[in-house]
């Protein structure tokens, strides 16, 4: 299973939830599959999806789902320590770990080799860490929402990208409609 | 009142309720003061670009943020300032310890000090330099200005402002 298939599978669970989505093809895929004001698309700044999501989770009470990638988490590995040490029961980090830098041409990452992001997340202090296959990602996400506990989900899957259009929406529009969704009752 | 308490009072008076920090000796008193105040949620970060991500999220979640950092880290935040903070038009006061200025005992600190204002200027980031303690009188209007214009704004605080490095 590749990332776009997992996103399609999880779309009903993501619906109307606050979602912060990783730069590049992940955001393009989510945008094409299910565009909503409650999606925050990163257009730049590789690695910071989890940090933006954590700040958002700390600042308000609604659940926050971050869709991140293995390559991006590796560029900001300190984020797992900050997550592990910060009280944020409404925070879910879902790492689509396809063992490759998808947006740049599927070059291999260390997460696809000897490095286990799930073990790093655990060692950094997060108690609820779930590793699953692509087929089970939707269910793992649903369970994390029901648990109401800070969770890191590592979804092990195949590398590969769907052909989707670039997001041309203005960043201020993305941010403004997202903040509207955050404030909505 | 101590300068640390005055600075934190100004943050709170401007509704800043989320602060992230990477520590600096000069800013230690401000960070300690923040931890005594219930009005501010303090989440230490491991790196300054990560901290700016936290601030972006906190702002979108309805809290006014600020970052406290050292100027030596400015280089690692350039991409984040351009593609996140400026691109999405997010307000971000940056209270920065300006190492490598007069009274600096560590030569290597000067190597980033000479680039600090040039980088900020190149990025069109409004920049204020606190050298005398009375310069802190402008912190309140600087914070109001930041949240008026939705931009990152740098407040450089040098060793003379903090009263030097003690016995050095
Ligand atoms: Mg990947």
Per domain, the residue ranges of chain B are 3-158
Q: Does domain A3-183 have CATH number 3.40.50.970?
A: yes
Q: Tell me what the mean pLDDT of segment A46-70 comes to.
A: 98
Residues of B in contact with A60 (CB under 8 A): 61-63
For the cut 90, the answer to whether the pLDDT of residue B72 exceeds it is yes
Q: Between chains, do B79 and A53 touch, taking CB under 8 Å as contact?
A: no
Q: By the CB < 8 Å criterion, does A168 face chain B?
A: no
Q: Tell me what the mean pLDDT of segment A151-176 comes to.
A: 96
Q: Between chains, do A55 and B61 touch, taking CB under 8 Å as contact?
A: yes
pLDDT at A185: 82
For the cut 70, the answer to whether the pLDDT of residue B167 exceeds it is no
Distance (Å, rounded) from C-alpha B149 to C-alpha B45? 26
For the cut 70, the answer to whether the pLDDT of residue A6 exceeds it is yes
For the cut 60, the answer to whether the pLDDT of residue B98 exceeds it is yes
Q: By the CB < 8 Å criterion, does A34 face chain B?
A: no
- What is the per-residue pLDDT across A80-117, written as a single tens digit (0 to 9) for each? 999 999 999 999 999 999 999 998 999 999 999 999 99
In this structure, the number of other CB atoms found within 10 A of the CB of residue A146 comes to 8
What ranges do the domains of chain A cover?
3-183
- What is the per-residue pLDDT across B104-130, written as a single tens digit (0 to 9) for each? 999 999 999 999 999 999 999 999 999
Distance (Å, rounded) from C-alpha B133 to C-alpha B130? 7
- Helix, strand, or coil here: A130? strand
pLDDT at B166: 61
Does this model's pTM top 0.80?
A: yes
Cβ-based burial of B135 (10 A; exposed 0-12, middle 13-18, buried ≥19): middle
CATH number of B3-158: 3.40.50.970
- What is the per-residue pLDDT across B51-61, written as a single tens digit (0 to 9) for each? 999 999 999 99
Q: Tell me what the mean pLDDT of segment A34-61 comes to.
A: 97
Question: How many Å lie between the alpha carbon of A10 and the closest alpha carbon of chain B?
Answer: 23
ipTM above 0.85, yes or no: yes
Q: Between chains, do A51 and B43 touch, taking CB under 8 Å as contact?
A: no
Q: Between chains, do B87 and A44 touch, taking CB under 8 Å as contact?
A: yes
pLDDT at B1: 85
- What is the per-residue pLDDT across B28-67, written as a single tens digit (0 to 9) for each? 999 999 999 999 999 999 999 999 999 999 999 999 999 9
Q: By the CB < 8 Å criterion, does B121 face chain A?
A: no
Q: By the CB < 8 Å criterion, does A75 face chain B?
A: no
Q: For residue B141, give both structure tokens.
A: 């209007």
For the cut 50, the answer to whether the pLDDT of residue A124 exceeds it is yes
pLDDT at B168: 46
Residues 131-150 of B with CB under 8 A from A: none
How much is the mean pLDDT over chain A?
Answer: 97
**Of A40, A49, A51, which to mutate for an interface test with B (greatest number of B Cβ within 10 Å)?**
A51
**Of B43, B45, B60, which to mutate for an interface test with A (greatest number of A Cβ within 10 Å)?**
B60
DSSP B29-61: HHHHHHTT-TT-EE---SSHHHHHHHHHHHHHT
């Amino acid at each position: 299973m590749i990332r776009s298939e997992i996103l399609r599978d999880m779309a009903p669970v993501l619906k109307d939830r606050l979602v912060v989505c990783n730069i590049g093809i992940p955001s393009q895929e989510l945008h094409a599959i299910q565009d909503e004001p409650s999606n925050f698309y990163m257009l730049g700044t590789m690695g910071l999806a989890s940090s933006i999501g954590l700040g958002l989770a700390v600042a308000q009470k609604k659940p926050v789902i971050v869709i991140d990638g293995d390559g991006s988490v590796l560029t900001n590995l300190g984020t797992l320590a900050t997550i592990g040490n910060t009280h944020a029961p409404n925070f879910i980090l879902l790492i689509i770990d396809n063992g490759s830098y998808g947006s740049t041409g599927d070059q291999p990452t260390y997460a696809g080799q000897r490095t286990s992001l799930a073990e790093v997340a655990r060692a950094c202090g997060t108690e609820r860490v779930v590793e699953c296959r692509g087929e089970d990602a939707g269910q793992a996400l649903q369970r994390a929402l029901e648990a109401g506990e800070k969770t890191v989900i590592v979804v092990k899957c195949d590398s590969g990208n769907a052909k989707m259009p670039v997001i041309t929406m203005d960043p201020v529009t993305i941010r403004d409609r997202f903040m509207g969704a955050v404030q909505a009752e | 009142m101590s300068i640390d308490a005055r600075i934190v009072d100004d943050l709170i008076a401007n509704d800043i309720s989320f602060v992230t920090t990477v520590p600096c000796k000069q800013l230690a008193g401000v960070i300690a003061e923040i931890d005594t105040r219930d009005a501010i949620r303090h989440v230490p970060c491991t790196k300054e670009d990560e901290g700016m991500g936290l601030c972006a999220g906190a702002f979108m979640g309805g809290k006014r943020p600020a970052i406290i950092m050292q100027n030596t880290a400015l280089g690692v935040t350039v991409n984040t300032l351009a593609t996140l903070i400026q691109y999405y038009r997010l307000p971000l006061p940056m209270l920065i310890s300006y190492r490598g200025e007069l009274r600096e005992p560590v030569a290597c600190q000067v190597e980033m000090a000479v680039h600090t204002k040039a980088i900020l200027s190149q990025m069109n980031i409004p920049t204020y330099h606190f050298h005398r303690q009375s310069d802190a009188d402008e912190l309140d209007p600087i914070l109001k200005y930041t949240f008026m214009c939705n931009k990152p704004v740098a407040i450089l605080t040098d060793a003379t402002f903090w009263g030097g490095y003690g016995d050095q």
